[in-house]
């Protein structure tokens, strides 16, 4: 690998084992923290400067929370951990023989242990040309872009109503009925029906339609069937139109084709599939069809005991099932890395990793959720009790007291005041009409209008 | 004007006088609120969906506050004001004869009264090619971009130190010693010397230099000389290097040329000049050299009693002095529009506008400020008392209880905890090294470095 021919630049001396952690998500950060008291030198490499609390990302996308409420500078999280340094850079090559990683900056890092926890990104199942028309939700930038599109859709409808006395249907189409799709659909319904009620003079935002398309027979396929049914019922009560068995065959600007029907969408969001980060493949180890690295019960790829693969990037099977790509297993895997390395240092055999599943949950709008609780007791919760459980759990896992306080106070405020002050359009402020004119040249229709006006 | 040939699309009937307000800053919003009980139809047009509390924008740029803390959706502010509608659009033409404005969308609006309050933007004194190297601070986007550059500068220095054992001087150069320049310089010094202390392993952020360049003989030229001297003293105590009498003759990527000396800057910020929004010139009325519209004591341009020009866009002289382009006069001018239109409706003579100056203030870092108080008592304050006054006044004028609570709690948190969780890099995450390589091709200097690295 030609990127890796450069001499090492980062040898700090000292001779302690060097642990390089790539990716500061739930898995990477938990691994770093689990190593804080061990005699090792830790380097955390991430291409962003902040950790993102992904389970609440949809609330940034729908203007409930601000980016800073759910993101935290990685340096801030690890500032007091003296055996750990943070580097903002991107890994572009791994040489497992020489035990080095190559970075986008040109630097190289030798490792004694390598922890890869770079997660997953959206998958359009080979149709990447759909991406500009139906953005997905994985980063703060994605959330800001979705917020921009959703808020601009209302602005555009108001303008069109004023101009023509008519506007195209204000449809919000969410593709994919997993937890993210369900949460997005519920939250869009909330914003339209509750929070925007008094804001417009020409349109009625409560008449916006929210369509949730899933190609399976039921929503939340990973949950028990009774909870899927409850989530559908709760979405129905919110006015969300759930279309299971919808096979999306094409997506274009402002439309989706599903089951040979064309659905117009003022905003289309993608929550249908994920694929592993490309770092899995750089290892040269076996991967599954989504690019996740097959790992043994020490979280190692075959033959690479010094490499750990965690979180969404790992394909780990337990009791015949692949464990899901959510925060809980990633955190437990991170913690496990600390135990495994401690065992090595003590020259003891490593324990085997075992995922302890406390359950799953997803919110459905402002006051409802479904929860498949497995610990400390077993229960299927729905509605308000599930929603309260969801809130408590998510506040608990947020990093930093300030964020917890900020999110709690923001939720209470939104809940009682029906206003959302995070409702900012930043970035490109142009309404879609102008954007077409400027970016893509006038469409035939636009040209007519322009000609008539100028 | 050819843009204005299209028939009106927005006549709501009812026959009430139509007031069109362009720009929802301090002036425009105060005008809208002052009209809330009058028998008029009000339309507020802004190209953004949010009001920005500009006096605190520098705190977003330096990661103290989040964008949503100081920005508020315009619709939210005016949602309960039933005689008022909000339109997100941009005015591209004004026909004062036909009393119509033309919008970027192609729509047109007739008015009986037109209120123009579109403010000002940066001026590079004809050197717009400097803009990419030295961004100014007028919008939320500007603040996010400055935040990105400042935070990336530290990340880059850490990486260079790790890679080469050396990094170029971590200089932050602020051009312009008015209130914005003083506030930016003080806040950068704070972030480097207090908030980043424990975050890096290879660089010492407290050794960053902050240079404040002004071409005049003293900072804060609009303030009394004793306060300028105090501000300089306070900046000196913070470690900011103040260079008055610095004539900037050129700005390029990473450097400033002033008084025939070249100063390297990891980040260069522009706070030196403003020019009026182009809407002033569209009126066809006389403007001053910065493009501000000369208005009489009814805030009308000559011969246009139905047009009011407010805030930074107005050139209004009182007692032989032009009143400054800050929030206070803009708000009072907005209020005045309500009184003037009420007088017209009552068929009374309009009162004359008179600016009531309560004083000026600027912060200098974390615990100091200068304030030229003129009401309710006269005093020149500096240091901590000025800073407390500044805080109280700014909290008071923030729009919305939630924002006030959020900002107070954020300030208290930052003050005691020495952490800033708003310290996010969003948008382009690449460090300058990569960015140059990818966006602009290597500069000669970059090329050398690249050659050495690869």
For chain A, say whether B92 makes contact (Cβ under 8 Å): no
- Say if residues B76 and A154 touch (Cβ distance below 8 Å): no
Q: Which residue of A has its CA nearest to B83?
A: A201
Interchain pair A48, B425: CB under 8 A: yes
Interchain pair A164, B9: CB under 8 A: yes
Q: What is the pLDDT of residue B445?
A: 35
B450 HSE (CA, 13 A, CB side): 15
Interchain pair A429, B5: CB under 8 A: no
Interchain pair B66, A71: CB under 8 A: no
Q: What is the pLDDT of residue B13?
A: 54
**Cis peptide bond N-terminal to A376, omega within 30:** yes
The tens digit of pLDDT for each residue in A426-446 reads 877 665 544 343 333 333 333
In the set A145, A158, A183, A234, the catalytic residue is A183
Interchain pair B88, A199: CB under 8 A: no
Tell the residue number behind the tokens 């995922």, with chain if given: A355
How far, in Å, CA of A12 to CA of A15, rounded?
Answer: 8
Interchain pair A413, B429: CB under 8 A: no
Q: Which residue of A has its CA nearest to B75?
A: A199
B-interface mutation test, from A5, A49, A403, most B Cβ less than 10 A away: A49
Cβ contacts of A321 within 8 Å, gap of 6 or more: none
How far, in Å, CA of A303 to CA of A284, rounded?
Answer: 11
**Angstroms from B238 CA to nearest CA on chain A:** 23
In chain B, residues with a C-beta closer than 8 Å to the C-beta of A449 are 106
ipTM score here? 0.89
For residue B2, give the nearest of A79, A106, A454 by CB distance: A454
Alpha helices, H only, B165-262? 179-190, 225-238
For chain B, say whether A162 makes contact (Cβ under 8 Å): yes
Distance of CA A241 to the CA centre of its chain: 23
Take residue A274 and report the two structure tokens written for it. 């994920």
How far, in Å, CA of B2 to CA of B94, rounded?
Answer: 11
Take residue B328 and report the two structure tokens written for it. 């206070």
Question: Strand A267-270 relative to strand A171-175: parallel, antiparallel, unpaired?
Answer: parallel
In chain B, residues with a C-beta closer than 8 Å to the C-beta of A409 are 405-406, 409
Q: What is the pLDDT of residue A450?
A: 28
For chain B, say whether A447 makes contact (Cβ under 8 Å): no
For chain B, say whether A318 makes contact (Cβ under 8 Å): no
Q: Which residue of B has its CA nearest to A4?
A: B454
For chain B, say whether A453 makes contact (Cβ under 8 Å): yes
In chain A, residues with a C-beta closer than 8 Å to the C-beta of B32 are none
For chain B, say whether A429 makes contact (Cβ under 8 Å): yes
Residues 170-199 of chain B with CB under 8 A from chain A are 198-199
In chain A, residues with a C-beta closer than 8 Å to the C-beta of B147 are none
How far, in Å, CA of B92 to CA of B304, rounded?
Answer: 19
In chain A, residues with a C-beta closer than 8 Å to the C-beta of B141 are 426-427
**Beta strands of B123-234 (E only): which ranges?**
171-175, 209-213
In chain A, residues with a C-beta closer than 8 Å to the C-beta of B3 are 453-454
Closest CA to A364 of A193, A271, A238: A238
In chain B, residues with a C-beta closer than 8 Å to the C-beta of A399 are none
For chain A, say whether B85 makes contact (Cβ under 8 Å): yes
Interchain pair A67, B72: CB under 8 A: no
A-interface mutation test, from B6, B201, B430, most A Cβ less than 10 A away: B201
For chain B, say whether A450 makes contact (Cβ under 8 Å): yes
For chain B, say whether A168 makes contact (Cβ under 8 Å): no
Interchain pair B409, A413: CB under 8 A: no
Cα A231–Cα A237–Cα A243 angle in degrees, nearest 5: 60
Question: Strand A84-88 relative to strand A41-46: parallel, antiparallel, unpaired?
Answer: parallel
For residue A68, give the nearest of B72, B79, B421 by CB distance: B421
- Say if residues A357 and A333 touch (Cβ distance below 8 Å): no
For chain B, say whether A151 makes contact (Cβ under 8 Å): yes
Interchain pair A162, B87: CB under 8 A: yes
How far, in Å, CA of A392 to CA of A388, rounded?
Answer: 6
Interchain pair A159, B201: CB under 8 A: no
Q: What are the φ and ψ backbone dihedral angles of B265, each rounded to 5 degrees?
A: -140, 120
pTM to 2 decimal places: 0.91
**Cis peptide bond N-terminal to B376, omega within 30:** yes
In chain A, residues with a C-beta closer than 8 Å to the C-beta of B85 are 201-202
Q: What is the pLDDT of residue A37?
A: 97
Domains belonging to chain A, first-starting first, are 2-47+89-123+275-345 (3.50.50.60), 128-272+367-417 (3.50.50.100)
For chain A, say whether B162 makes contact (Cβ under 8 Å): yes
Interchain pair B9, A158: CB under 8 A: no
Write out chain B's pLDDT in tens, 454 residues.
Answer: 334 434 455 455 568 999 999 999 999 999 999 999 999 999 999 999 999 999 999 999 999 899 999 999 999 999 999 999 999 999 999 999 999 999 999 999 999 999 999 999 999 999 999 999 999 999 999 999 999 999 999 999 999 999 899 999 999 999 999 999 999 999 999 999 988 888 999 999 999 999 999 999 999 999 999 999 999 999 999 999 999 999 999 999 999 999 999 999 999 999 998 899 999 999 999 999 999 999 999 999 999 999 999 999 999 999 999 999 999 999 999 999 999 999 999 999 999 999 999 999 999 988 899 999 999 999 999 999 999 999 999 998 888 777 888 888 888 887 777 666 678 888 776 655 443 433 333 333 333 332 222 2
How far, in Å, CA of B274 to CA of B121, rounded?
Answer: 5
In chain B, residues with a C-beta closer than 8 Å to the C-beta of A70 are none
For chain A, say whether B88 makes contact (Cβ under 8 Å): yes
Interchain pair B163, A433: CB under 8 A: no
Q: What is the mean pLDDT of each run of 10 residues along chain A (454 residues)?
A: 45 79 98 97 96 95 92 93 96 96 93 97 94 96 95 95 92 97 96 89 95 97 95 96 97 96 97 93 95 97 98 96 93 98 98 96 90 94 93 87 83 75 78 42 32 27
For chain B, say whether A47 makes contact (Cβ under 8 Å): yes
- Say if residues B311 and B279 touch (Cβ distance below 8 Å): no
For chain A, say whether B201 makes contact (Cβ under 8 Å): yes
- Say if residues A452 and B4 touch (Cβ distance below 8 Å): no
**Angstroms from B107 CA to nearest CA on chain A:** 7
Cβ contacts of A239 within 8 Å, gap of 6 or more: A189, A193, A209, A210
For chain A, say whether B159 makes contact (Cβ under 8 Å): yes
In chain A, residues with a C-beta closer than 8 Å to the C-beta of B159 are 87-89, 105, 107
For chain A, say whether B72 makes contact (Cβ under 8 Å): yes
**Angstroms from A1 CA to nearest CA on chain B:** 13
Q: What are the φ and ψ backbone dihedral angles of A267, each rounded to 5 degrees?
A: -140, 135
Q: Which residue of A has its CA nearest to B410?
A: A402
């Amino acid at each position: 690998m030609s990127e890796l021919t450069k001499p090492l630049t980062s040898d700090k001396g000292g001779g302690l084992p060097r642990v390089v952690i790539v990716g500061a998500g739930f898995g990477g950060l938990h691994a770093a923290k689990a190593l804080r008291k061990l005699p090792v030198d830790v380097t955390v490499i991430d291409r962003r400067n902040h950790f993102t609390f992904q389970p609440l990302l949809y609330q940034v996308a729908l203007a409930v929370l601000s980016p800073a409420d759910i993101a935290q500078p990685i340096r801030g999280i690890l500032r007091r951990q003296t055996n750990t340094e943070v580097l903002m850079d991107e890994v572009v090559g791994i040489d497992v023989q020489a035990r080095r990683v190559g970075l986008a900056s040109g630097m190289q890092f030798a490792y004694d242990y390598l922890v890869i926890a770079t997660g997953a990104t959206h998958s359009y199942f080979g149709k990447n040309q759909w991406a500009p028309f139906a953005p997905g939700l994985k980063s703060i930038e994605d959330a800001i872009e979705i917020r921009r599109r959703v808020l601009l859709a209302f602005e555009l409808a108001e303008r069109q109503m004023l101009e023509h006395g008519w506007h195209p249907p204000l449809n919000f189409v969410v593709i994919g009925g997993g937890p993210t799709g369900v949460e997005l659909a519920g939250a869009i319904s909330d914003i339209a029906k509750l929070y925007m009620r008094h804001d417009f003079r020409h349109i009625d935002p409560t008449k916006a339609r929210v369509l949730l398309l899933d190609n399976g027979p039921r929503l939340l396929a990973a949950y028990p069937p009774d909870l899927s049914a409850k989530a559908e019922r709760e979405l129905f009560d919110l006015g969300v139109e759930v279309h299971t068995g919808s096979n999306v065959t094409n997506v274009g600007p402002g439309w989706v084709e599903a089951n040979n029907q064309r659905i117009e969408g003022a905003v289309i969001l993608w929550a249908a599939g994920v694929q592993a980060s490309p770092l899995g493949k750089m290892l040269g180890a076996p991967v599954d069809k989504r690019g996740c690295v097959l790992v043994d019960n020490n979280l190692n790829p075959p033959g690479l005991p010094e490499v750990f693969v965690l979180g969404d990037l790992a394909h780990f099977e337990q009791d015949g099932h692949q464990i899901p790509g959510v925060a809980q297993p990633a955190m437990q895997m991170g913690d496990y890395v600390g135990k495994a390395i401690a065992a090595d240092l003590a020259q003891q055999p490593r324990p085997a990793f075992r995922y302890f599943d406390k359950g799953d949950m997803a919110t459905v709008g402002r006051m409802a959720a479904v929860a498949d609780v497995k610990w400390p007791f077993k229960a299927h919760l729905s509605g308000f009790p599930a929603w309260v459980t969801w809130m408590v759990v998510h506040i608990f896992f947020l990093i930093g007291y300030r964020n917890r306080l900020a999110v709690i106070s923001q939720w209470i405020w939104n809940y009682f005041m029906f206003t959302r002050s995070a409702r900012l359009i930043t970035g490109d402020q142009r309404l879609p009409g102008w954007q077409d004119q400027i970016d893509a040249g006038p469409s035939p229709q636009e040209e007519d209008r322009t000609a008539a006006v100028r």
